[in-house]
Amino acid sequence: MADDIVFELLHSEIINYVLENSKTSNGSKEVDLSLVEYIGFAAGYKIMERLTREWPRFKDELDTMKFICTDFWTCIYKKQIDNLRTNHQGVYVLQDNAFRFLTNFSNSQQYLEFAPRYVAYTCGLIRGGLANLCINSVVTAEVQSMPSCKFHIHVQRT
């Protein structure tokens, strides 16, 4: 599908651009992905208003997470989350066995060190979506073997 590839290419270009910028600004080898995460946050925040328009009111937090795993993910990545786990105390783990931004790479360990760059945007996307639904959270990602990715959501209670 042509419209999918546009999003994928734009995403990788944003990452290249941000990496290039952070290289010139401080010269160190540390990569600063907070800008990518913020771009994701803004996009997630805005998209949520549209997605939940035809949806009945959410019962609770778990209901909201199910929405993220099914409709939200389908809208962006054309598939559902493969596995959702929770400890019922505000920690949720979303596992995607074939994360779209990673499926184009080799399945071996070759590019494993670069994987964090390609999940930062999605972390922001989830965080922004939840923030608009009044759930403050910290989202981190973990890639152990190449196309599969786990997103950890820690809900911040005040």
Partner 1 sequence: MAVCVAVIGKDNSPLYIGGVGNDTNTDNELSRQWLVHTALDALEERLATTNTNTANSASNASRTDLRDLYLGLLYSTDTHKIYGYVTNTRIKLVLVTSSTSPSGSNIRDAEVRTALRRLHALYADAICNPFHLPGEQITSSKFDRQVKNLLLNNV
**x/- track of binding to partner 1 for residues 55-94 (CB under 8 A):** xxxxxx----------------------------------
**x/- track of binding to partner 1 for residues 40-59 (CB under 8 A):** -----xx-xxx-xx-xxxxx
Answer yes or no whether residue 7 interacts with partner 1 by CB under 8 A: no
Q: Which is nearer to partner 1, 14 or 133 (CB)?
A: 133
Q: Any residues with CB less than 8 A from the CB of 139 and at least 6 apart, and which? A: 123, 124, 126, 127, 130, 151, 152, 153, 154
Find the shortest distance in angstroms from Cβ 82 to partner 1. 25
Q: Which is nearer to partner 1, 46 or 85 (CB)?
A: 46
d(C-alpha 54, C-alpha 122), whole Å: 23
Answer yes or no whether residue 14 interacts with partner 1 by CB under 8 A: no
**x/- track of binding to partner 1 for residues 113-152 (CB under 8 A):** -------------------xxx------------------
Q: 62-79 burial string, b = 16+ CB within 10 Å, else e? A: eebbebbbeebbeebbee
Q: Which is nearer to partner 1, 55 or 88 (CB)?
A: 55
The dihedral built from the CA positions of residue 143, 70, 135 and 14, taken in this order, carries a sign that is: positive
Q: Which is nearer to partner 1, 30 or 60 (CB)?
A: 60
User: Within 10 A of 135 (CB to CB), how many other CB atoms are there?
Assistant: 19
- Asked if residue 123 lies in contact with residue 139, where contact means CB atoms within 8 angstroms, the answer is yes
- Asked if residue 116 lies in contact with residue 35, where contact means CB atoms within 8 angstroms, the answer is no
The residues that touch partner 1, with contacts defined as CB under 8 A, are: 45-46, 48-50, 52-53, 55-60, 132-134
